[in-house]
A and B are shown apart, each in its own frame.
Chain A
Amino acid sequence: MTKETYDVLIIGSGASGGMAAYTLTQKGIKCLMLEAGPLVDFNRQRTLKPVYELPYRGMGKPGKLPRVFQANEFNASQWVDETDVPYTHDPKEPYNWVRIRMLGGKSLFWARMSYRLSDYEFKGKDHDGFGENWPISYAELAPFYDRVEPIFRVSGRKEGLPQLPDGIFVEDTSPDAGALNRFRDAGKSLNLTVTKIRRSLGDGQFASSYNLLLPAAQATGNLTIVPNAVVRDITTDKKTGLVNGVNYVDRQSGRALHAKAKVVVVGASCLESTRILLNSNIANSSGVLGHYLHDQFYISNGVQAVVPEAKGGNAPRGLMGGSGYLPRFRNLKTKEKNFIRGYATDLNPSGTPDAKYFGTWGTELQKQLDEHRGAAFGTTIMGEVLPRFENYVKLDPKVTDKWGIPVLNFHCRYSDNEFNMAKDAVATISNICNDAGFKVLHGNDKMFPPGHSIHELGTCRMGDDPKKSVLNKWNQSHDIKNLFVVDGSSFVTGGAQNPTLTILALTMRASEYLAEQLRKGDL
């Protein structure tokens, strides 16, 4: 039985896979999309429940998803169960690999933070000498950011910052809370800016491949979507060395199948894409496939402060509420002694500090909570992690997943640059809070384990030199011209910004190049 050979086979249906389908199908290219997870009917899959009706009172089934700190008893079923798809690491080098397998991928649940990278990232080596530059500049990607933002309806406020370029925004004209203004004024000597969170509004606060990209792609008549197709590896033509399809497995039955295509686009999420390439034993003449794993380190409530005037729920109108974003301000025009690059911070002037911050219990604890009600000033610190060769994934020779596919073994730890950056962040933000007249309850410079931010990047990086990179500047394999990898694995550096907007822009750019190459018959 001979099945159709598609023009392009896309692995994954999240932000990158969805954008590849969106771009290619509108150019008349016949695409096949394989998604490892099911199509979820949200109306059937979810229901409202009071927490006390859950079997474990919302405290979670013991031992379930121990490395997914975002999981709780309500949402436990939405994450990939690591007993189905395990991964391994040295216990001393923990890694939190947080995954979702459903049509739409992680774009179903992301926080929708949508920031552009700048030449402080694309040309980072020129700035401080570390690592490699990207093979593209901000100017080359900017036109694609310009086209992605209106699709996702990114809200924001223009600031004119070189380290955080403005976009095509749905303008956010809401006033900043008084507490944010005080924070900004207190940090004036550091030349910092507090801006609005830049967030994809999408359609009704839902901004996913699922609703913004895939419907339009399928409406062209050029997209075939197959859920429950777990890709094992990519196959190659022995004569030409070109890729010609993929081996995949029915998620539910384990039955093995093969699909054919002229071009393969891998967008299975950063580390799943690299896993597929490693299992395929292709595209690694450089020897760097799997290396330069990085992300952003996260510290929730790195500084937990209180705004005294808001205590007891008595905040004057306009003092509290909303949120703000403190873009990177370190190592722009000056140089820090102990670290390169920088960090950004989410600022949240609302709510009540958690009970854990009060060294008391019982009646006195409740009194403290009542006193501090509505007065919390929380901060989430997000720092750039340097891409280093020694942080990597490889195949574990002893462990396979539920479908017999070899799994990843992680070797990743943060370095002094990240530790020093975290210390600076907590000390600096604490000082600003004090100068703003806030009371600092707690400071913590210990970050979550690598991976926690769900911003895993690198391991299949792009570059001009085929000896140092896996992909060229078009997200195309240096080794195999009809193979493209379009997700976060292609990043050279990540900055402190959330990566999804850049993944979308890179994928649109790569897909247009791919389409042109196909049209010219060069693939």
Chain B
Amino acid sequence: MKRRRFIQTVAAAPAIAIPATAPAAQPATQRPPAEAPKFELSPLDAVGDTTPRFFSAAQLATLRKLSDVLMPPLNGMPGALEAGAPEFLDFLIGASAADRKQLYKNGLDTLQTQAQKKFGKAFADLNETQVGELLAPLKKPWTYEPPADPFARFLREVKADVRTATINSREYSTAGSAGRRGGGVGQYWYPID
């Protein structure tokens, strides 16, 4: 995994008072303002992994398997697991409104229940064909209005969320030189006072 480090300028006050090391020897003339120091900083994800806190262990195992199926590593680009997408979604969904939380929890539980019922195994242990059978609602054409069935709605949401969480990850953006770009760079607006 490559790591890109960013130089960020501390754009605070243009003049910062630097403590003198030898006060007694200060010259009488005023010194010119010192330039603000520059620090080399790293993004959060460069040094640590997200700690899951929202989903149960079983739900998270299901989400990990599902994420890997939806967005596997391809053509030299990292997949959802390498991008930490399931753990990021654990955080995002945990910070979301109650209906979104419930949609995800119920959806993951349904996958687990159906896996046990149809194949006698945990969802995380299913093979590709078996998973494909459970994800059949995703084969229906996309419609502007979400499906009425909550499980189909969950699958549609998780397909989009896993993809975005992967493509917008640091790992995806900085991976190799495969020519495929991640979420990219944008003009970020600071909050207005």
Point out residues on A near B: beta carbons under 8 Å.
37-38, 40, 44-54, 56-59, 61-63, 72, 74-78, 102, 252, 355-357, 359-363, 366, 442, 444, 446
Contact = CB atoms under 8 A, between A and B. Distances in A.
B168 A58 contact: yes
A57 B186 CA distance: 12
Given A46-B190, A57-B88, 17 more contacts: A46-B187, A48-B186, A49-B186, A50-B170, A51-B173, A52-B170, A57-B183, A59-B92, A59-B161, A62-B96, A62-B97, A72-B186, A356-B142, A356-B160, A361-B69, A363-B74, A444-B143
Given A361-B159, A362-B69, A362-B70, A59 B168 contact: yes
A74 B96 contact: no
Contacts, number: 123
A338 B151 CA distance: 37
Interface string B81-103: 00000001000100111001000
A366 B166 CA distance: 14
16 contacts: A50-B173, A51-B168, A52-B172, A54-B188, A57-B92, A57-B169, A57-B183, A58-B164, A59-B92, A63-B96, A63-B97, A74-B187, A77-B189, A356-B156, A363-B74, A442-B142
User: Top 9 A-B pairs ranked by shortest CB distance?
Assistant: A51-B183, A77-B189, A62-B96, A52-B170, A74-B186, A49-B188, A446-B144, A359-B139, A57-B168
Contacts of A58: 164, 168, 183, 186
A75 B43 contact: no
B1 interface: no
Contacts of B169: 52, 57
Interface of B: 43, 45, 69-72, 74-75, 88, 92, 95-97, 100, 135, 138-145, 156, 159-161, 163-165, 168-170, 172-173, 182-193
Contact of A359 (B71, B72, B138, B191): B138
B92 A62 contact: yes
A366 B142 contact: no
A239 to B, nearest CB: 42
A50 B5 CA distance: 12
Contacts of B182: 51-52
Contacts of A74: 186-189
A38 B189 CA distance: 14
A61 B75 CA distance: 31
A61 B168 CA distance: 15
Contact of A38 (B45, B75, B187, B192): B192
B69 A48 contact: no
Contact of A355 (B45, B163, B183): B163
A340 to B, nearest CB: 25
B184 A51 contact: yes
Interface centre among B75, B88, B100, B186 (most CB of A within 10 A): B186
Given A50-B173, A57-B183, A59-B164, A361 B138 contact: yes
A355 B141 CA distance: 11
Contacts of A444: 143-144
